[in-house]
Amino acid sequence: MELTPLIAHATAALDWLWPPVCARCEARAEAAATRFCDACWAGLRPLGRHDGQGVLAAFAVDSFFLDALAAGKYRRQRPVLMRLARTAARRVESWLPRGTPIVPVPLAPDKQRERGFNQAEIFGRELAARLEAPLIVDALVRVRGGKAIAGTSRTERAGRVRGAFRAGPGLDPAREGSLLLVDDLVTTGSTSADCLRALTSVAPALDVRVVAMGRAFGPREDAPPIAREGLARL
């Protein structure tokens, strides 16, 4: 017996009996799987073309963005993460050249096994589909996990991720031209900078651009530009 239709009908019946509500505002939600109502999703704060520091991000990080990202990353509510990735890809696609290869920032192997997915890769796949571009998941390798960096200063972050990445087998040393490095969230840019170092140390002719779903802005002294020689300003 095919169980998928039965499960779908059962889920629809439960939604009719006990309508899903938004986890933030408790308004009626269209579907329990996406956790939040359409009005809350529409409240994501879009950013402009670029942040002046070499990063193109779809949205500014606020409490809703963090709630949605945490639901997907840490509570394994993948439909939430998928919707966030789709919404972000739709936001930035018109600013990016079609066909540009996309490289997601890799997770540490133990985190990848624990979660069962890489949120940067999910965003990368959504963006690749819209730009009709290749997704190169093995262009970068994370060689060590490092300690947690949430809540740390710029200097601490830089120290903890320095040397954490190296070029992978999917990166052709002769590759040149534009390449999009994608991540879920950029804060100080330490992770992006180390990925840039790893990529351009093997393929120095690359023009790497950083694209993220969200961009967090800290105190002025803790938010240095990562756009320097070798990292293109969008």
Over residues 108-155, the pLDDT tens digits come to 988 899 989 999 999 999 999 999 999 999 999 999 875 555 555 455
> Which position has the token pair 């890769």?
121
pLDDT of residue 80: 94
Position 217 confidence tier, pLDDT thresholds 50, 70, 90: confident
Q: Does pLDDT of 161 surpass 70? A: yes
Position 229 confidence tier, pLDDT thresholds 50, 70, 90: very low
HSE-CB of 221 using CA atoms within 13 angstroms: 2
Beta strands in 1-70 (DSSP E): 55-60
Query: 194-226: buried (b, 16+ CB within 10 Å) or exposed (e) per residue?
Result: bbbebbbebbeebebbbbbbbbbbeeeeebbeb
Whole-number Å distance between alpha carbons of 140 and 199: 7
Give the three-class secondary structure for 66.
helix
pLDDT of residue 233: 31
Q: Does pLDDT of 31 surpass 50? A: yes
Which is nearest to 186 in space by CA: 231, 139, 133, 130? 231
Q: Is 161 exposed, middle or buried (0-12, 13-18, 19+ CB in 10 A)?
A: buried
Record: fold of 44-222:
Rossmann fold (3.40.50)
How do the domains of the chain map onto residue ranges? Answer: 1-42, 44-222
